[in-house]
Structure 1
């Protein structure tokens, strides 16, 4: 008797999320993407279903983290339209026979894998895939991976950067705190947008970093999923390479050039894992986000081009993207 009562309490707690306030111009609407409306009720229905069906969602509810699921539902709603537009422009189509074959074993029918729940971001993404139409979710993943496969052989970037709050070679944490490191990195990116040559001067004065760094995506699949590879040339950025393991480490950089025109020759090829391939595919969608007309109810956050995600608020973005010689954030 204890478990059903607990589950009822959790479902009730999930339902109460619908009582949160929303801006008067978006009452009842979670998101509008290219004219397609997703209502708050639709998001709430998926939340309630998640708590009923998925032990991981029940765990999140008990930790008061269901807002992560709501944001991910809206995020995947946006990305679904973005990947469809990108696929049309890139000439990519999903192999429906492969999707049908995958659905016969349906990897989304089971509960969220235990490995994924060790990381809230991965676990919540897996959870929302299971709440969606499974053919649609698998098709989106297929197209994202195809986009990564298309770009990996030819994608490379040239950039200058400085590093803030990086761990020492002995693995010791720096004295700077995470909040200060973030502020400093964002300020540097904004400075570099106005004066990209400031990086060279800082390096001469002892700052950590480098200029003229040339990196093919094939040589570093993990990095290829970061904002470094998603922005056009002449863009200043600030981001965290490894926020989980190195929370004080930020990079402020200027991407001088992003090349995709011809296959890159490199002896340092690393085969991406399936998860890395999916993450790279999502990053390759970054230039297309600006081509989709979307409005997101502030209760679900704001679009974060650095994280290709929704941040709870503008003050919690995963970094900044600023065009060189301008102060306004680049549209991504």
Structure 2
């Protein structure tokens, strides 16, 4: 596998960081999980459950062992402190990686995607360096500490397997995956979620939503030409799903969309895939894997938070990035 954008050099564990390479957009967002872990004991699917993804169960014991290992690593806790996550945020990142590895890893296995182990270190380094660059640009010089560098590398190594698999899934999707949607653009989240519920209810109420200014029926998007949309929840759900989301979080507008058709049988376009960045392929691959779940949502033990399908991350309940209404 050739991973575009990943430099082949290796960063020494105790090397003082004075220069970092370009950031990896979506990977940084994935890593920037903050906030307190929600309290709670009863897990989904019964006691002892950490998370449920379709028919797959991640045991609470496995999750707690991984969390304990992270929290007893002085490098990772140093990184969590400097990045402002704290121990709760670090714990959430551990659970997030466990869920992501299951979702993306399962889809990769089903698709016959295999990532050579030797590629993983380069991906982990690229993401770590991007995170460090972001902090340095913000004036956070504490990230130069060798312990912080080592800690971030350990954190990104934990996510590297699923991120590498997602990149390959994204590469395969270019030219193949497309969606057709009925959609409307609105100005705020409250209106978006209200319209989403009306659109999902069907009948006259749905027709009223699609008669609103800015509504479009039969809007077509393809993974190869609409890369920003292809990296959103719009491409990560089955037909009949209604979503409320921000296509670009930097823009205040919201989109409400009903997925009318989702196709995966287009002719592949390897040449077009080669023109996309690693970050773009990662985002698209995440949604390819997510769509393979069908109508099976991810359910996480509430002590760790809730799974946000729009952001594809683990968050506190109040931090969810939008709304997904799966077909009944």
**TM, length-normalised to structure 1:** 0.68
Q: Deviations over 1:207-237 (max 9, x none)?
A: 2232211111111212111011111122211
- Closer, same or farther in 2 for the Cα pair 1:57/1:133, shift >3 Å? closer
**How is 1:28-47 mapped onto 2 (pairs within 5 angstroms)?**
31=51, 34-36=57-59, 37-40=61-64, 42-47=66-71
Separation (CA, whole Å) in 1 of partners of 2:220 and 2:75: 49
* Preserved CA contact (<8 Å) 1:92 1:143: yes
245, 264, 269: which is aligned to 1:260? 264
Map 1:1-80 onto structure 2 (within 5 A).
Answer: 21-23=39-41, 31=51, 34-36=57-59, 37-40=61-64, 42-49=66-73, 52=75, 56-61=79-84, 65-80=86-101
Alpha-carbon offset, residue 301 of structure 1: 0.7
Q: Does the 8 A contact of 2:183 with 2:217 survive in 1?
A: yes
Matched with 2:194 is: 187
**Secondary structure of 2:325 counterpart:** strand
SS in 1 for 2:303: helix
Contact 1:99 1:138 in 2 (8 A): yes
TM-score, normalised via structure 2 length: 0.69
Shift of 1:52: 3.5
Q: What is the 5 A alignment of 1:122-271?
A: 130-131=153-154, 134=157, 137-165=159-187, 181-195=188-202, 201-202=208-209, 204-205=211-212, 207-243=213-249, 245-246=250-251, 248-263=252-267, 271=275
Q: How many residues align?
A: 276
Across the aligned residues of Structure 1 and Structure 2, the Cα RMSD in angstroms comes to 3.9
Unaligned ranges ≥5, structure 1: 1-16, 166-180, 327-332
Q: Which runs of 5+ in 2 are unaligned?
A: 1-35, 144-148
Alignment of 1:71-90 (within 5 A): 71-90=92-111
What is the Cα deviation at residue 47 of structure 1?
3.7
Q: Matches of 1:270 and 1:111 in 2, distance apart?
A: 21
Supply the distance in 1 between the matched residues of 2:291 and 2:110 (Cα, whole angstroms). 12
Structure 2 residue 131 is matched with structure 1 residue 115: no
Cα distance in 2 between the residues matched to 1:293 and 1:321: 10
* Aligned equivalents of 2:297, 2:209: Cα separation in 1: 39
CA shift digits 1:156-205 (9 cap, x unpaired): 1111111111xxxxxxxxxxxxxxx2222112111111227756544545
Offset at residue 148 of structure 1 (A): 0.7
Aligned-residue offset at 1:239: 0.9
**How far off is 1:82 after superposition?**
2.1
The alpha-carbon distance between structure 1 residues 94 and 312, as it changes in their structure 2 partners (threshold 3 A), is same
Relative CO higher for 1 or 2, CA cutoff 8 Å, sep ≥ 6? 2
**Rg larger in structure:** 1
Contact 1:163 1:250 in 2 (8 A): yes
How far off is 1:251 after superposition? 1.0
Report if the CA contact (8 A) 1:75-1:309 is conserved: yes
Instruction: Say if 2:179 and 2:222, in contact at 8 Å, map to a contact too.
Output: yes
- Preserved CA contact (<8 Å) 2:244 2:323: yes
CA shift for structure 1 position 42: 3.4
Q: Secondary structure at the match of 1:34?
A: strand
Q: Which residue is equivalent to 2:308? A: 304
Q: Distance in 2 between matches of 1:263 and 1:21?
A: 48
Give the match's secondary structure for 1:232: coil
